Structure 1
Amino acid sequence: MDNYHDRRVRKSKIALKNALISLLQQKNLQQITVTEIVQAADVNRGTFYKHYQYKEELLEEMVDDIIVDLIDSYREPLKEGEKISINNLNVSAIKIFDHVENHADFYTIIAKSNALVGLQSRICIQLTDLMREVVEQAHEIKGIELNLLASYQAYAIWGLIMEWINQEFKYSATYMSNQLLTILQFTRYS
């Protein structure tokens, strides 16, 4: 019975999050009502209020879930216990573009509308934290402040993601991973 209940809760939450994403493609969060969310999700208001007090709480949980998935995608190459370096990095190990592709609607809203103001900054801060983990593994690079290097790399990756979104995901995630790896190798040797 618990497994059935958990599955129903997950299903309801997914429906609510998908409904919110769909509505955010049309208007800002402030313009969206709980009634619109539950109608789009095909659940009743009671189901919404069983899980969330406000629509902002639904949004926050959705963003948190996506950030956790972003972190997991970035750390995928580390699961085998290896340190990440350009020398041992390959295209199949780079999962961040797969993550963005899996959440394309969410990232498109962030990139192309004012619906989720401030989330670009939050994602870049998270990317910077992830990059800091990698650059701290490396020995100090003479003359380069590691925090600045981490920030540079994070915003460069975000720039690639933004360009990919602006080109309406014209390329595959694998192609984007290959481009990132090529850029990293190019900047390393230039």
Structure 2
Amino acid sequence: MDRRIRKTKKAFYEAFLKLLETQNLQQITVTAIVKEADVNRSTFYKHYTEKEDLLNEIIESVLGDLQAAYNDPYQRDTSFTAQNLQPYMIKIFDHVYKHQLFYRHVISSKISPNFQNRICHVIQDLVLRDATKSAIPKDLNPSILTSYQAHAIFGTIVYWVENNFSETSDYMSKQLFLILKTQHQLDSSK
């Protein structure tokens, strides 16, 4: 994508998310978006038909970045498995911090209340990939296990957002690592 287009779209993203701080989705107009972005209206319509197209593009961009953050350890080390995970390898909290305004709106339900479930489904699909590679008890349904894990991960994100990002992303990664490690130790002792 051309640098100017990226810059313009970034201005639209930031304007839209900033407007969500004071208005609900229905109140936001294209006029308000272009004014906040300091871009003319025709440029908006060059890229989008309506504000919902912009929102959908923001959502897809953030979900793509979430998948990239989760996959980061796999990209760096081809021998990586979930069993040799270390705190510094967990990049989800770096992703959330990078998109903190977006996640504030998701947690406060300013962006479709159902979107929280969509994030959990993306995380669940990613975790399911790992679950199929690891030894899980044959009586345990992998879909139920990964749903539990995805919602637990999302729960740590909710905690962090609701506490105004008072801890660092490194701290949150270490906490998630310790939670996963503790859970694994409990499971192994049974």
Structure 2 length normalisation: TM-score?
0.94
Match of 2:78 among 63, 81, 84: 81
The offset of 1:71, in angstroms, is 0.0
Equivalent pair of 2:120/2:154 in contact (CA under 8 Å): yes
Deviation at 1:69, TM superposition (A): 0.2
Q: Does structure 1 residue 39 correspond to structure 2 residue 35?
A: yes
Q: CA deviation at 1:9?
A: 1.0
Give the AA of the match of 2:127: M
- In structure 2, the residue corresponding to 1:171 is in which secondary structure? coil
- Counterparts of 2:114 and 2:20, CA distance in 1: 15
Question: What is the correspondence of 1:27-176 to structure 2 with a 5 Å cutoff?
Answer: 27-79=23-75, 80-86=77-83, 88-176=84-172
- Contact 1:28–1:116 under 8 Å retained in 2: no
- The 3 A distance-change label for structure 1 pair 27 and 68 is same
Distance in structure 2 (CA, Å) of the matches to 1:139 and 1:115: 37
Deviations 1:8-50 (A, max 9, x none): 1111111001000001111111110000000000000000000
1:121-161 deviation per Cα after TM superposition (whole angstroms, max 9, x unaligned): 11011011011011011133242111111111100000000
AA matched with 2:154: W
Out of 10, 19, 26, the position equivalent to 1:23 is 19
Question: Of the candidates 180, 184, 187, which is equivalent to residue 176 of structure 2?
Answer: 180
C-alpha contact (below 8 Å) 2:34/2:41 kept by paired residues: yes
CA distance, structure 2, for counterparts of residue 135 and residue 113 of structure 1? 30
What amino acid is the match of 1:12? T
Give the conservation status (yes or no) of the 8 Å contact 2:106–2:112: yes
The unaligned stretches of length 5 or more in structure 1 are: none
Aligned length: 185
How many angstroms does 1:188 deviate by? 1.0
CA contact (8 A) 2:91 2:173 kept: yes
1:32-78 Cα shifts (integer Å, max 9, x gaps): 00000000000000000000000000000011000000000000010
Q: Specify the code of the residue in structure 2 equivalent to 1:18.
A: E
Between the two proteins, what is the percent identity of the paired residues?
42
TM-score normalised to the size of structure 1?
0.94
Say if 1:115 and 1:66 are closer, same or farther in 2 by CA, change over 3 A: closer
3-state DSSP class of the match of 1:137?
A: coil
Structure 2: gaps of 5 or more residues: none
CA shift, 1:113, in A, is: 3.6
Is the contact between residue 25 and residue 110 of structure 2 (CA under 8 Å) also seen in structure 1? Answer: no
Contact 1:83 1:137 in 2 (8 A): no
